[in-house]
Every structure is written in C-alpha cells, then in structure tokens.
C-alpha cells in the first residue's frame, strides 16, 4: 500500500474517531443536563410539597384555634376572609392578644382587613379542653418528648403486626397517693410538679411555694389544670388491659385521655390542701412562667363511653392522701 493511501486510511480513522468522540461527548453532556434538570424538578417538587404541607398544617391550626375560641358566626367570617385571599395564618399561639394581632396583621398584609364585628371575635383567653383528636405540639422538654416517643413505638409496633394490640393512655395531671400511705411520690431533688412541692412545703422541706402568675383570666387569676387521683389512674389501666385481654378493642392501636374533665386552679389546690391538712401553706405570687397554658383540661367523654371508666376520687381526697403519704414517709 502506498504511503499516500495509508495516509488517507489513517486520516479516515482519525476523522471517524473525532466524530465518535464528539457524539459521545454530546450524549454525555445531554445525559448530565437531563439528569440535572430532573433533579432540579424533583427538588422543586419537594419544596412545593413542603410548602403545601405547611399550609395544610397552618390552616388546620387556625381552624382548630378558632373552633376553640369563638362562636360559629365570627369563625365563619374570619375563615371566609382568609380563604378568599388564599392566605394562611399560623396561630399556634397562647394568648388572645397574640392571636388576634397576628390575624389582623396578616389579613391587612393580604389586602383584606379583619371585618368589623359587633363585638371582639376572640375571648380574653383561650380555654383548651383536649380531645384525643387534638394535634400534637412539639415537646419542649426531653421528658415530654419521651411520651410522644412511647406512643410512636406503640403505634408503629401495632402497624407492623396486626396481631399486636396496644392502648396508649394519656395522663393529664396525676396526684395523690394510695390510701394506705405506703405508696406515693418522692421526686428526685426539687419537685417539678405542684403537689409534691405543696406537701414538701407544708412539711418544712421547702421554704415556700411559688405560684406562677395571678393575672390570668381565671376566677382567681392562677392557671387551671386537670388533676386526677393516681388511684383512678391505676383503675383505668386495669380497664384497658381487660379490654385487650377480652378482645374488645375496636382497633389494634387505641388511645384515651385520662383526666377528670374538670379544671382546677393552682390557688384552688392550695385552699383545698389547707382545708384537708389543717396546715397553713406558705406561698408567694411570682411572674408568669414561660410556656404555661392558661387553662387546659381533658375531654374525657370518649374514654368514659368507650372504656366505661370515669374518675371517682375528689380533689380533697387526692390532696389528703398525698399529705398522709408525705407525713408517713418523713416519719421513718
């Protein structure tokens, strides 16, 4: 083969190689570009999905807030205004002033001020009675978070095996002791709960009780909670276990509120304790404690009807049992 023909042959190979490389590079670039485009669209989808879910959560929060705070007519006016402007307000707030100001501000920003009503659409405070269907608020303490984690474990376990049946019992504020005064509560260190601090103050262990706030919109200005006797609480556990053993549960994961369904203020607790114990309790009023809800108690209608259980012990009985336990424990 002449050198000229060999040159033409090698030239063709070179040209083919360059063309092939160009095609491959173009295909690679196209593939990368397409991949980046798909990834970008996927990330945009996730972002929009997150915004959508946030909107749903916020809409649910404002609906729940309004349902628990105002009458149907006023609630309808505000929700219609919000929906008309396609604007969602996050009102997972505690005080009436914060909530009302937020609603007004956001509606003004949306170009549709809060309609003028004959009277203030919101009450001075928010009264919260908690049903089983109430949404969870993220826990603000490791202790509180453990309660949610326990429910998550029960729910997930039952979901993983339909033959495993579980019941979650949601305590409100357990107090008191067994009537024998042999079983009771001794917190480690300074008590974080009201009743042990009350009994330890009466016993001289603590100098005085601090009442956090007396300017709430309650009959005496102090916060209201749902205090349930620990014996009533124990009986509810027996009922729940019996329900599972007798296969009377309607789902393989159930949950129930355990409370009295009635709210009692901190100062009412103090007066009740002084009455049943005969002791004058030393206490002082201090500023509000951050994060405290003004009024909260259980809606126990579901647990009363479904479990056939309800509380029997009174607040006086609970406080007297707690005091007897404290005295018995300190006498040893």
Active site positions, annotated: 143
Biggest CA pair distance of the chain: 125
The SS3 assignment for 212 reads: strand
- Cα separation of 22 and 186, whole Å? 80
Residue 33: partners with Cβ closer than 8 Å, 6 or more residues away: none
189: region left, alpha or beta (phi > 0 left; psi from -120 to 50 alpha): left
Give ∠ CA 285-189-223 in degrees, rounded to 5.
Answer: 30
Which one, of 80, 74, 82, lies nearest residue 105 by Cα? 82
Report the chain's terminal Cα–Cα distance, integer Å: 116
Give ∠ CA 6-8-13 in degrees, rounded to 5.
Answer: 95
- CA 245, 248, 253, 258 dihedral sign is negative
Residue 64: partners with Cβ closer than 8 Å, 6 or more residues away: 134, 135
Q: Tell me how far CA of residue 183 lies from CA of 179, 226, 268, 274, 323, in angstroms.
A: 8, 22, 25, 22, 12
Q: Tell me how far CA of residue 146 lies from CA of 192, 196, 287, in angstroms.
A: 16, 22, 28
Q: Tell me how far CA of residue 16 lies from CA of 11, 224, 254, in angstroms.
A: 9, 86, 72
Pair type for strands 264-265 and 224-225: antiparallel
């Amino acid at each position: 083969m002449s050198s000229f023909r060999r040159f033409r042959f090698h030239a063709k190979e070179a040209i083919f190689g360059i063309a092939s490389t160009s095609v491959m590079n173009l295909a690679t670039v196209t593939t990368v570009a397409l991949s980046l485009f798909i990834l970008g669209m996927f990330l945009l989808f996730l972002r929009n999905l997150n915004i959508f879910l946030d909107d749903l959560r916020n809409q649910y929060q404002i609906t729940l807030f309004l349902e628990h705070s105002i009458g149907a007519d006023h609630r309808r006016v505000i929700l219609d205004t919000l929906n008309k402007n396609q604007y969602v307000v996050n009102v997972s707030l505690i005080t009436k002033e914060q909530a009302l100001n937020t609603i007004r501000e956001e509606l003004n920003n949306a170009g549709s001020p809060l309609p003028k009503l004959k009277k203030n659409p919101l009450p001075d405070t928010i009264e919260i009675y908690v049903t089983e269907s109430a949404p969870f608020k993220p826990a603000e303490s490791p202790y509180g978070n453990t309660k949610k984690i326990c429910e998550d474990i029960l729910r997930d376990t039952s979901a993983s095996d339909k033959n495993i049946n579980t019941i979650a019992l949601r305590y409100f504020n357990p107090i008191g002791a067994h009537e024998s005064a042999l079983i009771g509560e001794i917190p480690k260190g300074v008590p974080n709960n009201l009743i042990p601090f009350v009994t330890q103050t009466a016993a001289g262990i603590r100098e005085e009780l601090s009442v956090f706030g007396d300017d709430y919109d309650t009959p005496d200005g102090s916060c209201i909670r749902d205090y349930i006797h620990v014996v009533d609480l124990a009986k509810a556990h027996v009922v729940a276990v019996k329900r599972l053993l007798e296969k009377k549960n309607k789902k393989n994961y159930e949950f129930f509120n355990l409370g009295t369904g009635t709210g009692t203020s901190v100062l009412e607790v103090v007066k009740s304790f002084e009455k049943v114990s005969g002791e004058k309790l030393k206490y002082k009023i201090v500023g509000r404690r951050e994060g405290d809800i003004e009024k909260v108690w259980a809606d126990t209608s579901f647990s009363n009807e479904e479990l056939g259980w309800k509380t029997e012990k009174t607040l006086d009985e609970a406080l007297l049992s707690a005091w007897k336990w404290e005295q018995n424990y300190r006498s040893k």
